[in-house]
Amino acid sequence: MTETIHTDDPEHHLNLRCLQLSDYPDIKEIMEAVYQAAGGPVKEQIYKAQLTTFPEGQICIEDHGKVVAAAFSVIVDYKKFGDYHTYDEITGDAYLTTHDSSGDVLYGVDVCVSPDYHGMRLGRRLYEARKELCQSLNLKAIVAGGRIPNYQQYAQELTPQKYIEKVKKKEVYDPILTFQLSNDFEVKRVLHNYLPEDDESHGYATLLEWQNLYYEKKQLPLIGAQKSSARVGCVQWQMRPLKSMEELIQQVEFFVDALSDYQCDLCLLPEFFNAPLMGIENHSNSIDAIRTLAEYSEQIIEEVAKLAVKYNINIIAGSIPVIENNLLYNVSYFCRRDGTLESQYKIHPTPFEKKVWIMQGGNELRVFDTDFGKIGILICYDIEFPELARLQAEKGLQILFVPFWTDTKNAYLRVRCCAHARAIENECYVVITGSVGNLPKVDGADIQYAQSAVFSPSDFSFPHDAIMAETTPNTEMTLIVDLDLDKLKQLHHEGSVRNLLDRRRDLYKIDWLGD
């Protein structure tokens, strides 16, 4: 958004544009002057988060290159908050974690104008730009909570409601409310404790709305619309001696077929589900065995991808060893039912994998779009590093899938306990599945222990123990669970506790430093 604004004063050269990170010193200077009695300027890390989350919604007016006025906003799904909300709740403590690109309302976060430019109607220009943005994005309305700073002069004699009525009738002037009413905003109601620290307004605020007359309700497609629930199927895989790769694919197809018959949206296989192929021939050492196994990988993924299309089911093909530039990796492939293919590399090889197999860790952490929501994959040991799941959660993760391979119960419990914690702290579902049985001729894969499970957040809308379902330990079987994604959205904003929303971003953060 860029627009040159011509004025009659030759000393000014105003330009309307989107804010940039380099503008923070100017923003800080304005807010120090404007908000001396209301908390001071926004912290730089919050400012950066706002621009990163919704850059188009943060606009300013500059004069000869210096920012002199600015407006901040966020898109929200308004029904999640309703008319009774606080500033911190609907803005995510100003970090805009509530931003929803598919929402229906543009919410006004802040407007500030340098005192040196009062009287030039720059606030009106910013409001007009907001209206233009609202119309361009086809949003239903602009909503904002407005301070009533002059109420402090009338608080002893007028209720907030009567004060607002007098401002409407122009019997009383309020620098913010009067301005908003003159810009076609209507007062919907009075909010209490909207900004508790706002002593001038005694904690009160007006809930204001401007309706977009050109709004066209978005029609969901009759077919192919994104679903609000997902049926996931886990395969608790029996490790058994095999004679060929074809026999392995036949076993995979059996489970894919079965889960497809139950209309599952996704099938999850365990880590190294193809390990039995290492027993087809004798190997002189473990490195030779795992690298020989990697020779099957390309064909295995090609066959699994065909099954995803054939049976109309998304498949996470556990994980398999892959050699790239003569380096060994552990890779999970996500085979969509539309024929597309993506991958997630294991970030943290275990000490065994690094020492015995000389395995490398991947350098990219991903979140995948599906026809039912956003998912992530963390392979076994990776679930024990909470930073990874948190980074995925910040990208909108709804379901985290964890294919694992553990030999003993204590190894399994590390994966299980960490997966359970990730579900609670990131307000998402976590699905884990592993393998059972034994492979006597395969070094390092002699025994298996697994109990597959699906974990949920811990709140009233979910099971009391935050366990959706789990299998019988050490028995080959499937686990099928329906996951309600709308419950996650409700939890984010209305939960008994809100682990994502209540993070102290002013004190700590996680930065991804990889590729």
Q: Which of 185, 211, 237 is the last residue of a domain?
A: 211
Give the CA distances from residue 468 to residues 200, 361, 430, 485, in Å, rounded to whole numbers and listed in that order. Answer: 49, 31, 10, 13
Catalytic residue among 267, 380, 418, 428: 380
What is the mean predicted confidence (pLDDT) over 35-64?
A: 90
What is the mean predicted confidence (pLDDT) over 21-45?
A: 89
Residues 207 and 235 in one domain: no
Is 169 an active-site residue? no
**335 occurs within a structural domain:** yes
Q: Residue 249's pLDDT band (boundaries 50, 70, 90)?
A: very high
Residues 287 and 345 in one domain: yes
**224 occurs within a structural domain:** no
Residues 181 and 285 in one domain: no
Residues 168 and 306 in one domain: no
- pLDDT, mean over the chain: 92
Phi, psi angle pair for 35, to nearest 5°: -110, 40
Could you tell me what percent of the chain has a pLDDT over 70?
96
Residue type, position 112, single letter: C
Note down the domain range covering 56: 14-211
What pLDDT does 3 receive?
61
| Distance between CA atoms of residues 194 and 216, nearest Å | 31
Whether 361 shows a pLDDT value over 70: the answer reads yes
Under 8 Å between Cβ of 377 and 330:
no
What is the mean predicted confidence (pLDDT) over 271-286?
A: 90
What pLDDT does 11 receive?
82
| Distance between CA atoms of residues 480 and 470, nearest Å | 9
Q: Residue 1's pLDDT band (boundaries 50, 70, 90)?
A: low
CATH code, domain carrying 96: 3.40.630.30
The pLDDT tens digits for 132-144 are 999 999 999 999 9
Catalytic residue among 200, 234, 346, 427: 346
**504 occurs within a structural domain:** no
Residues 167 and 247 in one domain: no
**454 occurs within a structural domain:** yes
Whether 6 shows a pLDDT value over 60: the answer reads no
What pLDDT does 171 receive?
94
**446 occurs within a structural domain:** yes
Structurally, the chain folds into a number of domains equal to 2
**202 occurs within a structural domain:** yes
What pLDDT does 442 receive?
81
**389 occurs within a structural domain:** yes
Torsion of CA 384, 385, 386, 389, to 10 degrees: -90
DSSP one-letter code for 488: H
The pLDDT tens digits for 454-472 are 999 999 999 999 999 999 9
Residues 300 and 171 in one domain: no
**Of 344, 317, 313, residue with least CA distance to 331:** 344
Is 271 an active-site residue? yes
Least confident residue range of 9-13, 96-100, 217-221: 217-221
| Distance between CA atoms of residues 369 and 340, nearest Å | 11
Token output for 486: 């709308």
CATH code, domain carrying 300: 3.60.110.10
Residues 151 and 281 in one domain: no
Residues 278 and 316 in one domain: yes
Residues 187 and 335 in one domain: no
| Distance between CA atoms of residues 242 and 347, nearest Å | 29
| Length of the chain measured in residues | 515
- What SS3 class is residue 172? coil
Q: Residue 387's pLDDT band (boundaries 50, 70, 90)?
A: very high
Token output for 466: 């935050």
**503 occurs within a structural domain:** no
What is the mean predicted confidence (pLDDT) over 285-313?
A: 95
Residues 177 and 274 in one domain: no
If residue 241 lies in a helix (H) or strand (E), which one and from where to where?
Answer: none
Residue partners of 504: CB distance under 8 A and separation at least 6 = none
Q: What is the distance between the terminal CA atoms of the chain, rounded to a whole angstrom?
A: 30
Token output for 195: 């900004």
- What SS3 class is residue 219? coil
The pLDDT tens digits for 391-447 are 999 888 999 999 999 999 999 999 999 999 999 999 999 999 999 998 887 876 778
Whether 515 shows a pLDDT value over 70: the answer reads no
What pLDDT does 227 receive?
81
Under 8 Å between Cβ of 105 and 75:
yes
Residues 283 and 332 in one domain: yes
Q: Residue 221's pLDDT band (boundaries 50, 70, 90)?
A: low
Catalytic residue among 271, 303, 353, 427: 271
Is 267 an active-site residue? no
Residues 132 and 69 in one domain: yes
